[in-house]
Amino acid sequence: MSADSNSKEQMQPTLQSLYLLYHEVRPSETPYSYAISAEMFGKHLDLYVQRRSSNIGFLPELTFDDGHISNIELAAPMLAARGLTARFFITAGWTGKRPGYMGWTELRALQAAGQAIGAHGWSHALLTHCDDRELQTELNDSRRALEENLGAAITTMSLPGGRANGRVLAACEAAGYTHVFTSVPKAETPPLGKTVGRFNVQGNMQPEWIAQLLQPQSGVLSGLQRQDQIKQKLKSLLGDRLYAKLWALRNRQEPEADDHWESAE
């Protein structure tokens, strides 16, 4: 093997993306792990702007699940101020109905601001627990409602609670979704595949730690992947519902989130 052929292999590698998952932004600090203070969120965004221009490490990409009202009231202006866009996955059956979540006017404004909209089920039911008819509602009715109200094709979705199996993924594809965003922490090489891994960011995660996460050599992401595999094993041992309850007790210490425990992830 000559030195010449070695040097040809050292061409610039394709940059991998790391999709980050947020839910709610709050004006002030909160112990609720699914919400992040605006101040901390701003620090995360400043890091992403810096990393996106530096072309090293994982390229950070932003996503939001559930359609919380803070997505437009707090997150969207902060993204716009930095020239960033995100994908917002919306629980269609909550739109305009559930207090604290965006209505159609807000979603249209988000879309007009250049943000991407995807689906997040109809009622936030865990898709692995749905029979065929329920899957139809969760996948098809949600896509149709979003398309009719926003006047655009909806081809991406994220899995409520991150739950999926082969049957669910086949149903997602049959319902017209070309990309399904999961909660499995994993870097993605373009072009975007049928499933897209994501890392769930919690409100107390410091920008210095996120910076390490975005650095492939730090080993942070591979450590998280090992943890996730253990979690999946526990889930299959304990059963999904018991696991989700235990998880909620440990991670979402907020009574008002009780009816929402299934969104664990």
Residues engaged in binding Zn ion (CB under 5 A) = 65-66, 160, 263
Q: How far is the CB of 120 from Zn ion (least distance, A)?
A: 6
Nearer to Zn ion, 71 or 263 (CB): 263
Nearer to Zn ion, 164 or 214 (CB): 164
Q: How far is the CB of 124 from Zn ion (least distance, A)?
A: 6
Q: How far is the CB of 24 from Zn ion (least distance, A)?
A: 11
Nearer to Zn ion, 63 or 149 (CB): 63
Q: Which two tokens stand for residue 245?
A: 């309850």
Nearer to Zn ion, 65 or 106 (CB): 65
Q: Which two tokens stand for residue 51?
A: 């990393």
Q: How far is the CB of 29 from Zn ion (least distance, A)?
A: 22
Q: Which amino acid is at 195?
A: T
Nearer to Zn ion, 58 or 199 (CB): 199
Q: How far is the CB of 73 from Zn ion (least distance, A)?
A: 19
Q: Which residue shows structure tokens 């080993």? A: 219
